[in-house]
Amino acid sequence: MSYDLIVIGTGPGGYVCAIRAAQLGLKVAVVEKRGTHGGTCLNVGCIPSKALLYASELFEEAGHKFADLGIGVGKPKLDLATMQAFKDKGVDGNVKGVEFLLKKNKIDAYMGAGKILAPGKVEVTLNADGKVEVLETKNIVIATGSDVAPLPGVEIDEKRIVSSTGALALGKVPGKLLVIGAGVIGLELGSVWRRLGAEVTVVEYLDRILPGMDSDVAKSFQRILDKQGFSFKLGTKVTGVDSSGKTLKVSVEPAAGGDAETVEADVVLVAIGRVAYTGGLGLNEVGVATDQRGRVVTDAHYATNVPGIYAIGDVIAGPMLAHKAEDEGVALAELLAGKAGHVNYDVIPGVVYTFPEVASVGKTEDEVKASGVAYKVGKFPFTANGRTKVNNTTDGFVKVIADAATDKVLGAHIIGPEAGEMIHECAVLMEFGGSSEDLARTCHAHPTRSEAVKEAAMAVEKRAIHM
């Protein structure tokens, strides 16, 4: 078979790249070694975690917040098996949706492990029967995503010592859950099991949570999580886990050196990050360059050093986010079709789907300060927002950072309910080079949480009305 494009991997980057290329008239095939399309995100990542976050949030609301609203329901009873089935149903629907879209766009799907034999040649070992097929193509896109970063000395068994995959499929609520890593994945999954009854301790090597996010936001968010019942051991490293007994014995010690201690847990979640997945692709044999972190090296147009071979998503540099991979997939497909594909890396939002949510777009205050650019900051707390006050969801704030000379918005950060939805008006504004005054003078409906975004923009010039 001969194609214009073969995409290896059908996660968000890969399947979106394939669909956009097909829309533009290219003959496209995809290769996927998993039994289903959608990659980590749809199968064991973004989608199932959001199902459990949603269900566990409602469970906690019913048990702790309904009474204050005059709703008497008694103590809710957890049916974890049904909750997991709810999650699995949602995953199945999304996965089948991708399969439908590939068929709709007349994209050939080969379910098996792909290996690049040479520029223009991809070998596929089919899952169904082990048969090997060699496909020919003008262009190859590596979209194989990422895998769980291992922690030396801690062996994941996906039963008691779990990665995010195992943490999404626990059969019972652990009495004590120890999370290694205070990043997005650790805090989201820690939130799920804390709401359902687990005692959650988070161990983080750095002296703060959410590395890479605005430090002002991280400090405030940690205080909120403390109130919710999280326990944190910051500036601390895990040196080993003894799984020989009924409970896990986790050895921890100060990252800067000092006396070790043992913490007991029923389940340990290893969530220290992810690494690019390039195993078995034949990259070394073909001569595709990778960097010191194992990521595929590409130029500004996603081309590797080998003509006709490209890469996108988690497997290349940049934030490991599904929507970043999707945009890269669209941009590359358009470039291959002779159009002007482009991704603005200065305006890629990031969201932590806890409650409240944390959302960010653009530069953090730490980054702006380090750059030496003169800047102004406007902040507005949800305690002063009419909608959140009447809904009793006042934790958090909106923060807008603008260039002091031009007033161009450089970054926006939100902690609050539905922050992940609200951040997008800031993203649109920044995409068009907008100023804080543009945002401040845009009429916002009342009463909405989004009014806090307007007020934060007004606060840049110290003219917020409601505080």
Catalytic residues: 446
CB-based burial, 425-457: b 16+ in 10 Å, e otherwise: bbbebbeeebbbeebbeeebeeebbbbbbbbbb
Q: Which phi and psi (to 5°) does residue 154 adopt?
A: -125, 115
Rounded to 10 deg, the angle between the 215-228 and 184-195 helix axes is 20
Residue 416 neighbours by CB under 8 Å, 6+ apart: 356, 357, 382, 388, 393, 395, 396, 397, 398, 422, 449, 452
DSSP 366-403: HHHHHHT--EEEEEEEGGG-HHHHHHT----EEEEEEE
Nearest CA-CA partner of 267 in 351, 214, 361, 192: 192
Dihedral sign for Cα atoms in the order 231, 233, 238, 241: negative
For 293, half-sphere exposure in the C-beta direction (CA atoms, 13 angstrom radius) is 14
